[in-house]
């Protein structure tokens, strides 16, 4: 699909019907699809908005609900109060747990303060937590491939700290020590680079040939789909722009994937006003994608910025269609129903395809 921005349409206005279609002047933007919000992020953001609708401000949220500056600022203006830990939330108040998930220790701390919790942990993160609990119960050594310090990794690690070791890259595999090499399993953060994770797992398997795989992909469908679309676009792109925040793991991975897949250059920006005109000097094709926590408006603003600087044509490159959605947290749905507010989302997740869900 080719989309002409208003300036491109104006440039071609008045062409006689029988004339061949003119080549649009200026450069082209290859827009990766899918991009932007995944099902877990949409659920998390909707969860905070619906809680605000129902109870009014303030609604406390532990950590950023999703890793996106614009989303956090927008919800803050509506009355969300973002805190680092539950001890910053007044006794008995309502707190939303972010899409990245929390450890059992955080749940216990919230219970101790009688907080009313709404758990917006993405169901695909919860799935990884369950794997950790199950393998720990069976007394496996668990290698959690992920980035130390990331909230999701902290949450998963907290499920079985005595059984889990975090490995951040292939180079860290050498340092892994296990009790019994025949009882080792790996699981992972949901937003990693598919290729780098494969390399880490290959190295793990060299050391522990009986290494057990997780029952299904832990890197989620949204992460995989966004990386796949970037790989398709990157070889044609002189410059790749990734819209997403610096603390968004999946957005940062998209920059790495773009460079590895052949983009001339790749830059991550939170929003259009961070774009540098110098990046586009001599470029004729710009690739554009966005992380799973990025609202559409930020991508539209980048498209507009590019249209005003010589890239009026937008060509969507779609590699996958996503239809998956997640219902709001169960207790929030009940509270919304009791308060006469509807849950706008379907009550059961739909699957994209067996190959693209985790």
* CA–CA gap between residue 167 and residue 24 (Å, rounded): 49
Among 8, 45, 106, 124, which residue sits at the site for ligand SF4 (rule: CB under 6 A)? 124
Which of residues 28, 103, 190, 285 is near ligand SF4 by CB under 6 A? 190
Report the residue number, 64 or 141, with the smaller CB distance to ligand SF4. Answer: 64
Pairing mode, strands 94-97 and 116-119: parallel
Residue of 131, 151, 152, 322 marked active site = 152
Question: What's the alpha-carbon Rg for the chain, to the nearest Å?
Answer: 22
Looking at beta carbons only, is 259 or 352 nearer to ligand SF4?
352
Cα 38 to Cα 231: distance, rounded to the nearest angstrom: 19
Calpha distance 297→294 (Å, rounded) = 8
| Residues of this chain, 278-297, that bind ligand SF4 according to CB under 6 A | 292
Sorted by sequence, the CB contacts under 8 Å of residue 185 that are 6+ apart come out as: 135, 140, 141, 142, 143, 211, 212, 213, 214
Question: Which of positions 248-267 make contact with ligand SF4 (CB under 6 A)?
Answer: 250
Shortest approach of ligand SF4 to residue 125 CB, angstroms? Answer: 5
Interface with ligand SF4, residue 99, by CB under 6 A: yes
Regarding 48 and contact with ligand SF4 (CB under 6 A), the answer is no
d(CA 281, CA 260): 22
Strands 59-62 and 80-83: parallel
Q: Which is nearer to ligand SF4, 125 or 314 (CB)?
A: 125
Mutual angle of helices 221-233 and 194-207, in 10-degree steps: 110
152: annotated active-site residue = yes
Q: Least Å distance between CB 242 and ligand SF4? A: 14
Q: Which is nearer to ligand SF4, 188 or 313 (CB)?
A: 188
Q: Work out whether strand 313-318 and strand 2-4 pair parallel, antiparallel, or are unpaired.
A: antiparallel
Residue closer to ligand SF4 by CB (options 5, 156) is: 156
Candidate list 122, 160, 240, 336; residue touching ligand SF4; CB under 6 A: 122
Min dist CB 205 to ligand SF4, Å, is 24
**CA-to-CA distance for 333 and 235, rounded, in angstroms?**
45
Q: Does 223 bind ligand SF4 (CB under 6 A)?
A: yes
Tokens of 329: 């947290």
Query: Catalytic amino acids?
Result: 152
Interface residues with ligand SF4 (CB under 6 A) are 38-41, 99, 122, 124-125, 190-191, 220, 222-223, 250, 292
């Amino acid at each position: 699909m080719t989309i002409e921005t208003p300036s491109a349409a104006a440039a071609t206005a008045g062409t006689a019907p029988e004339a061949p279609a003119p080549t649009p002047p200026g450069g082209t933007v290859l827009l990766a699809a899918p991009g932007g919000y995944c099902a877990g992020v949409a659920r998390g953001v909707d969860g905070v908005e619906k809680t605000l609708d129902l109870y009014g401000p303030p609604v406390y949220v532990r950590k950023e609900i999703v890793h996106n500056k614009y989303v956090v600022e927008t919800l803050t203006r509506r009355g969300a109060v973002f805190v680092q830990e539950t001890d910053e939330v007044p006794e008995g108040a309502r707190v939303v747990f972010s899409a990245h998930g929390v450890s059992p220790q955080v749940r216990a701390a919230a219970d101790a303060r009688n907080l009313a919790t709404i758990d917006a942990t993405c169901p695909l993160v919860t799935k990884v937590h369950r794997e950790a609990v199950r393998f720990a119960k069976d007394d496996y050594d668990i290698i959690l491939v992920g980035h130390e310090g990331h909230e999701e990794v902290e949450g998963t690690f907290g499920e079985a700290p005595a059984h889990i070791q975090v490995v951040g890259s292939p180079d860290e595999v050498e340092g892994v020590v296990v009790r019994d090499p025949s009882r080792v399993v790996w699981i992972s953060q949901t937003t990693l680079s598919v290729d780098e994770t494969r390399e880490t797992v290959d190295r793990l398997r060299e050391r522990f040939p009986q290494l057990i795989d997780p029952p299904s992909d832990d890197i989620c469908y949204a992460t995989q789909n966004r990386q796949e679309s970037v790989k398709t676009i990157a070889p044609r792109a002189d410059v790749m722009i990734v819209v997403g925040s610096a603390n968004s793991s999946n957005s940062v991975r998209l920059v790495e994937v773009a460079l590895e897949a052949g983009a001339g250059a790749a830059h991550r920006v939170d929003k259009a006003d961070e774009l540098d005109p110098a990046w586009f000097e001599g470029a004729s094709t710009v690739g554009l994608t966005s992380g799973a926590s990025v609202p559409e408006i930020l991508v539209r603003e980048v498209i507009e910025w590019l249209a005003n600087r010589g890239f009026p044509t937008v060509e969507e490159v779609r590699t996958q269609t996503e239809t998956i959605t997640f219902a709001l947290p169960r207790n929030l749905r009940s509270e919304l129903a009791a308060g006469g507010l509807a849950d706008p989302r379907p009550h059961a997740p739909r699957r994209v395809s067996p190959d693209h869900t985790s």
